[in-house]
Each structure stands twice: as C-alpha cells, then as structure tokens.
Structure 1
C-alpha cells in the first residue's frame, strides 16, 4: 500500500473540517508515521492539519516527488506551520500554492533545506500572483527602465519622472497598471527593486540643460534570488496568474 493510500486514512474527509476551530488537532499516529513519507516529515512537528483530503494528497505527492527518500528530514514548524496555513486558503491552480509546495519540499530535503528561509512562508502569504510572476521574470532577466525628468530653471528643480521605455513585459500581468505599486511592495519585502544604473544623463539645448535621462534596472535582490531558487517553479506558464 503506497503512502497516498495510507494518507486517505489519516485525512478523513467527513471529519476534516470539524477540527478547524480547535486549538490543536489530532496527532498523526505511529502506524501512519511508519508508512507516510512526505506527510510524516511535514506534519510530525506540528498539530494535525485539517484540509481537503484529495487536494492535500496531490500536494503531498508533489512534495514527495521533489525529495529523494534518502534526503528526507524533519521540517521545522517555524517554517511549515505558516506554509501549511497559507495553503488552506488557496486553490491548486494558483501559483502561490505552488510556491508554498516548493518551499515545503525544501524544508524536508537535507540537501536544500538551507534555501528554506523561515521568512519565506509569510512572504508568500503577502504576495499577489502578479508579484510572483514579476519575481519569476526578473530572475530570468533584469529589465531596463528609461525615464526622463524635465529641468525647471526658475526653481532649479526637476519635474516628475516620465517613462520613456519600460522593457518589462507588462502584458503578462493580470493588472499591468499596478506594476510600479508591485515593485514598491517587493522592495519593502527586500525581494526586488528598481535601481538607477550609472549617472543621470544631462539633456542640453542651446547651451542650457532641459532635463535628464535616467536609466534604471528592475532586478532581484540577493534575498529575492534565494526566494526564487527556493520557491519558484521552473516554468510558470501553466499556472493561473
């Protein structure tokens, strides 16, 4: 009997939501621990999880398939608790669910557990699907942003920046108008940002400065690159954004 068949006995559908409001759920028994592979390593450190049986079977299978059996280790509840809690509110086709699943796989893999930063689960819970896609695309390639700012001689000040070129593929986002808001949020999470490249280029006309051209790059931080390595799938196209 494989571990998914055993799992169906551990996560009974009829009883599963009766325990959601309880402070602690039933613990996984000794017999289950001897046969459930990914499930026992993920759930052993925490209270019994109430969840949809079929959905969790598929998620646990995906986690199990990512981790060689010889690499399995007990996960730390500081990471798995928030990740499992976050999965409760997501549908399977949501890209954020895949991020949680990948993070849980790292948490029980002795060769990759170093990628599983404890903050990542709570970070995923704060992301929108569009922001996950931005992280994925910036991990593939930094994106150039060119802007222009007019210079006002009377006040010796520069005006607001105007976008000249934005090489990020905005059409891929569900809400492209929110791109710069997304980037501000990712910056607040220390995942990504837009940073100026080199000096601003003065624009001159008849010997007078009329403005500046500004070249910047949208890119991941080192922390964002680790997040991408730990949580992002290799191909995001199949997921709902």
Structure 2
C-alpha cells in the first residue's frame, strides 16, 4: 500500500502536470461554472479513485470552492489543500469532521481568509473526535466554563452527582442558576463518560486551558467539609488558538453549541 506521506509529497508535481488538463489558472477563468469545474479537476488530479468515492470527493471540493465569492478565489494553497483532499477521499458524508476539512479547504482558496488556514489545523482535525468538536463549541459559548470533577479522579460526574454537589453549597436560586448556566454541558456529548479523555486531549492540542482566575462564586461553591468522593469545581476556557481553529474550520462559529437545559 502506498505511503500516504509519499502521496501528499508528490502532489505538487501532480498539480503542475494538471496544467495540461487545466491550462488556465483559476484567476484567468471568467465564468463561474468553468471556474468551479476546473478548480475541482485541479484538486482531483493527484487523487484518482473509482466510482462513487470519486463522485463524493468531487462534491466535497465543489462545496468548498462555491463557499468562496468568485472575486476572492485564488489557486489553493498546496501545503494545506492537497493533504485535506487526500483525507477527504474516505471521509463519510454528514460527518462533522468532514465539514471541518471542507471549511479549511475553502479557506485555502479564499484571498481574504487564506491566512486563517494554518497548516497546523489540518493536524488538529486528523486527531479530533466528533464529541471533541461539540466540547470545543460548548467552551466557545462562554468566557469561562465550570467543570465538576471528583477529587483526584478522572470520572464523568453524572447529573445526580452534580446536583447533590450544588445542594451542599446552599446557593441562592439566582446564583445557582448562573452556576448551572456556566457549567459544562456534559450530556451534549454522545459519550459523556469519555469527558475526562476529551478534556485531556483538547488540552494537549492547546485548544482549552485552565483559567488563571478563580471562577465567579468560587468561595460560595466551596464546602466547609469534604471527603475524597466530593466533586471539586474549577474553571476552564477555550484558548486563543482554539477560537482561531473554530473561526477557520467551523462553518458558523456563532452557532457554537447552545447549552441544553442544565441537568445539574
């Protein structure tokens, strides 16, 4: 089986060869339809696969191109575009990770937004699980997010456990509601029991971080007595890199997950 790194490394030469198929550059093509068709062919040239997979890949590329206004289209940045197309060959439709690839590919062909298409974001996408994208959107919806975690353990705190923790804090109704609104929406994840894994991985990728400042109402959330099974409460936030990643790769960062009614 061909090493994928070899395939990606050879794409620059392949793209040059494609000039025999598409002799004029994207910027020299006047008609919208011809522009899209030739750009698709240029990107597809190094990745010839059969039948339905080829058709699907062509649709992905077509979508990425059409999201860029015609007057802003440029030839794709090869270091970003070709690795993405190589990955898209086998990405399923209606998959949130597929959408990240398509959005990043679109940025690589947009004169005004090409600077957002940092090559590192491709590597981030290759490592992300769909739940981690939900996780990141949830963090992006707040300045800081409260996390509840068993002291010294990495375990998902279920709703009953979280409610019991807040009951012991004896918060006023208003403050409790504010705390619940600021608490991570664990149940938005398809596998909330993997929350600790996602948290650690997103920290490793540099997309989220512990908050340096104490969370609002922190003192009121402290318990006078606690035991080893008690939930600690701390705050985290999305990093600047995390927000840049969503800006580049999420179709609409403003739709960052709207927390469902809290189960805390």
| TM score, norm. by length of structure 1 | 0.69
Structure with the bigger percentage of strand: 1
Map of 1:224 onto structure 2:
242
1:138/1:37 Cα in 2 relative to 1: closer, same or farther (>3 Å)?
Answer: farther
**Residue-pair matches, total:** 206
**What whole-Å deviation, never above 9, does each CA across 1:103-130 have from its counterpart, x for those lacking one?**
0000110101111111111110111111
* Structure 2 residue corresponding to 1:192, chosen from 208, 215, 219: 208
**What whole-Å deviation, never above 9, does each CA across 1:158-217 have from its counterpart, x for those lacking one?**
x65896468222222121111111011011111113436428746446xxx989985422
Instruction: Note the C-alpha offset of 1:218.
Output: 3.3
SS in 1 for 2:197: helix
Give unmatched runs, 5+ long, in structure 1: 1-19, 150-158
Hey, which bits of structure 1, 4+ residues long, moved more than 3 A?
22-27, 29-36, 38-47, 146-149, 159-166, 193-197, 199-205, 209-215
Instruction: Note the C-alpha offset of 1:78.
Output: 1.6
1:39/1:115 Cα in 2 relative to 1: closer, same or farther (>3 Å)?
Answer: farther
Paired residues for 1:44-63 under 5 Å:
44=42, 48-51=46-49, 52-63=53-64
Between the two structures, name the one with larger relative contact order (CA 8 Å, sep ≥ 6). 2
1:148/1:87 Cα in 2 relative to 1: closer, same or farther (>3 Å)?
Answer: closer
Paired residues for 1:20-169 under 5 Å:
27-32=17-22, 34=24, 36-38=34-36, 40-41=38-39, 44=42, 48-51=46-49, 52-141=53-142, 142-146=144-148, 149=151, 164=165, 167-169=183-185
RMSD: 3.6
CA distance in 1 between partners of 2:237 and 2:187 (Å): 18
Give unmatched runs, 5+ long, in structure 2: 158-164, 167-179, 258-264
| TM score, norm. by length of structure 2 | 0.64
Kept in 1: contact 2:145–2:235 (CA 8 A):
yes
